[in-house]
Amino acid sequence: MTHPAANDVRVGSVLRGTYEITSLLGKGGMGAVYLASHRRLPSKQVAVKVLRGGADLSPEQYARFRREAEIASRLGHPNIVEVLDFDTLEDGTPFLVMEYLRGESLEQRLARGPLSLEETMSLTRQIGSGLTAAHRAGVVHRDLKPANVWLVPMDLGSSVGTRVKLLDFGISKMLDSQTIQTQDSVLMGTPQYMAPEQAMGRNREVDARTDLFALGCIVYEMLSGRSPFEGEDNGILQVIDRIVHSQPEPLMLLRPGLPEHVLSAVGRALAKSARDRHADVAAFIQELTGRPLLSLSRTAMPRVFMPSNPRMAAVVAATDRSSKDGEGEEPTLVPASTVRFAAPVPPASASERPENPPGEIRRARRPVPKWVVGVGWAVVVVGFSAAAWWMRSPPLTPERPSAPAPVREPLPEAPR
């Protein structure tokens, strides 16, 4: 079977014998996105992103596109678009296969006007959850903007909500990477959402606080209906000059009546110096909404140790993957009028815990029976003994690999 080149992709084309193109979803300067069906799983719809360029594609463009696929697929978070496959056409043009997302971008939503405070808080918490997962994996997005925030409608019977999906990790930066070096003086990102260090081309200073600045810009825009650094002249140089040297119009003048902690959180996120911003996105969300991110309380911290024994390493890796189940902020599933937000909770000390969110019932703790503690220690001792025996035992004879586990079908949702 021959495979189409970039210019030959059209309705009816079959990519790599698997993905049959059914319609064109969108086209831009970088390429096109198509709706496709999986030939062996006809009910499964996917979005196929084909990069423009073909044989003329530079090695840097190819590497960037492949990096987008690798990063998004490894993050595995409910608020980040799922990448399912990566391959090339006959002429070498790369394409990636993503979950198909219904809905619209935040940019399209903002074209109809500002959002309510309640909706802004809900969407921001979900954006923050996805960003936090990326940052903890050592990835900075660097091009966070409303066009890269997708809003997926969710109909759950009597409740309707919105699930946020972050898109386009194509120019993301891997922190501490020894293989990807970004030179200074090269602008990477979208001007109106660039942090000052980005706008001045100081790419070696880019870190998670750079994404935080962009998130602050997005929250400002959701509440006011305009981006903080837009003006009469929105040329690139003019926008960059405002980002580096000017303060945005006070949010309280554009949206009177906002809570003080919201104004404070957004103002701090937009600080010119990264040192003056919040330490991370989670701290910003805490001040903005008065509640910690759920993903931080339900997700294990990144591991700094990997056993050298291959079998034990496989167990650890499997444990890491299973810890992602249920991770992330839940979509809004109740009428906005019923949602209330707490006043900001001050940072807790090591001995303190965050206050219960409004509406939650504080449950009294019952003392743990001594026999439970004894059983727990016994399980730990047996577990360590079994692990030690396992690592000392000779390698097992390889068995014939079993059939792969079925792939969980994502909710039918929308592309960018």
- Please give the annotated binding residues, written as ranges: 49
- Strand pairing class (45-51; 14-15): unpaired
* DSSP element (H, E) containing 33: strand 31-38
∠ CA 62-81-158, nearest 5°, is: 165
Beta bridge partner(s), residue 23: 35
Structure tokens at 229: 């650094």
Binding residue positions for ATP = 49
> Are 294 and 329 a contacting pair, CB within 8 Å?
yes
One of 143, 168, 211, 280 is an active-site residue; which one?
Answer: 143
DSSP 265-305: HHHHHT-SSGGGS-SSHHHHHHHHHSS--HHHHHSPPPPS-
Q: Is residue 87 annotated as part of the catalytic site, yes or no? A: no
- Tell the residue number behind the tokens 């698997």, with chain if given: 18
| Backbone dihedral angles phi then psi of residue 34, each to the nearest 5 degrees | -120, 150
From 316, 275, 279, select the one nearest 296 (Cα to Cα): 279
| Helix, strand, or coil (residue 180) | coil
Instruction: Quote the CA–CA distance of 264 and 15 in Å, as a whole number.
Output: 50
What DSSP state is assigned to residue 102? B
Catalytic residue set: 143
